Amino acid sequence: MTTPKSSASELRALVDLLNGAVTQIEAACASRSQIFPPSDDPFTLESEAARMSPDVLLPGNIIVAAAQQLIAAVRIPALTLTLTGLSAYRTASLRLAISVHVSEILREAGPQGLHVNEIATKTKISPSKLARVLRLLATNHIYKEVAPDVFANNRLSSFLDTGKPVAAILEAPENKFDGTSGISAVLEHLTDEGLKVSGYLAETIMDPHTSLSEEANETAFNKAFGTTLSGFAWVELPENHLRLKRFTIGMKGTQNMVPPGIILENFDWKNLSKGSVLVDVGGGIGHESLVVARAHEHTNVVVQDRGPVISHATKYWESQFPEAVKAGRVKFQAHDFFTPQPVKEPAVFMLRHILHDWSDKYALIILKQLRAAAGPHTQLLVIDYTVQYACVDASTRDIPGTEIQLPPAPLLANQGAAGAMPYYVDVHMMGMANGIERTVPHFQKLFEQAGWRLSQVFYAPSSLLENSKLVAVPI
């Protein structure tokens, strides 16, 4: 007879993991004479240094996973599920706070905070309704209520701050995100288009016409916005120019969510032969391939994207790395990656955050076009999320780099809350474009169908925006 598992032993094991991880973080910070910043302190790059070190990130992930699993274990199921059902209102509240510039207003008010009546006056909205929204956010540790109806920034809310004067934003709100990190822009996109799309996800999956579709214009996005266009085409309509501007700034801002130079890690750039060509396929303005070109003078770059984007890429490189432009180390090509690839037999084809935009039907077209242009020694570098199963998976043990060290028991095999970002992004991409974040076995099968063999997988900490580099070679 099997002995029933003790829930008390699970709780104790989780608490022990929490204690051990906190001890590791304290020791790591002490070794560098760093102070782990309190949650009420505003966000700064200097304060985040303590959190971004690998010897803090890893135990930090243990804390996040164990804390969330502990909550799930002890909280009444009805309460957990009801709060999950209501979580859309937290998202909507976050959008309102960004849209009415609360973080900027509170930054100018100072650490003592500001009464909600004065916050609301700035943008002519209801103070009582704003107070309720901010209190919900403060209850979730975004902003803090320092006195009744008086709110101030904390670490999380200050991360939303564009740094711009409130007067300048109110005078030209369409320019709010210009010249910023892009973090607020991407969050406003997620809490605007993303939230609306999420409301139609179930209907889209249950609809016989759209449930099995792989088309980018048969999605929850199409139901939410009443269009037959894909999201990529819709956002380029003249009437959506502000959304396109916000989205463009936000996507560029995602690079600020990962440590600088992460593109240089793991992949063997230094051993490419002199004059090797890196093709940045769908590379936007080429900000990541610029990092490679700057660090490795023996490489040349071709940046490919749609025509309007390439004009911005040219200006970007001319301002950031004019020596490379002058020396002819970089070329700019307007190219549709669903059509034959014009660059033949380069050293590397790079797809960064491209394949997750597309269903398998269209990802295969992209990969096959690259395979047709590849030489025998061309490498395919795919930078994207890989999602892990929530259970142990032994199917990829023959692929170098996939031997992930499992988190300590009783944590989920995919780290639970600490590794949750790819799963949210996966469902978001499904709703927006029928895109998908793939498992390693899924990537392996997709590559093989297109004539590539997966040869190596490199992982970054799961809390980062991009957590995998996959390398494939021609079959």
Helix pair angle (360-373, 440-450), 10° resolution: 50
CA distance 410 to 413: 9
CA distance 257 to 182: 10
Contacts of 300 (CB under 8 A, 6+ apart): 275, 276, 277, 278, 293, 328, 329, 330, 331
Phi-psi region of 382 (alpha: psi -120 to 50; beta: other; left: phi over 0): beta
CA distance 111 to 151: 9
| Tokens coding 13 | 């094991």
**Would you say 411 and 66 are in contact if contact means Cβ atoms under 8 Å apart?**
yes
**Would you say 61 and 53 are in contact if contact means Cβ atoms under 8 Å apart?**
no
DSSP character string of 163-230:
---HHHHHH-GGGTTTTS-SHHHHHHHIIIIIHHHHTTHHHHHHSTTTTT---TTSSHHHHHHT-SS-
DSSP character string of 130-158:
HHHHHHHHHHTTSSEEEETTEEE--HHHH
CA distance 260 to 251: 16
Our answer to whether residue 356 is catalytic in this structure is yes
Looking up tokens 């990537």, which residue turns up? 443
The residues that bridge with 438 in the sheet, in sequence order, are: 386
**Would you say 465 and 421 are in contact if contact means Cβ atoms under 8 Å apart?**
yes
The rounded radius of gyration (Å) of the Cα atoms in the chain is 24
Q: Which of 263, 264, 267, 459 is nearest to 379 (CA)?
A: 267
For the chain, counts of helices (H) and of strands (E): 22, 10
User: Which SS3 state, helix, strand or coil, does residue 52 take?
Assistant: helix
Query: Which position among 356, 377, 428, 442 bears the catalytic label?
Result: 356
Residue 470: enclosing H or E segment and its boundaries? strand 468-474
CA distance 263 to 465: 12
The catalytic residue positions are 356
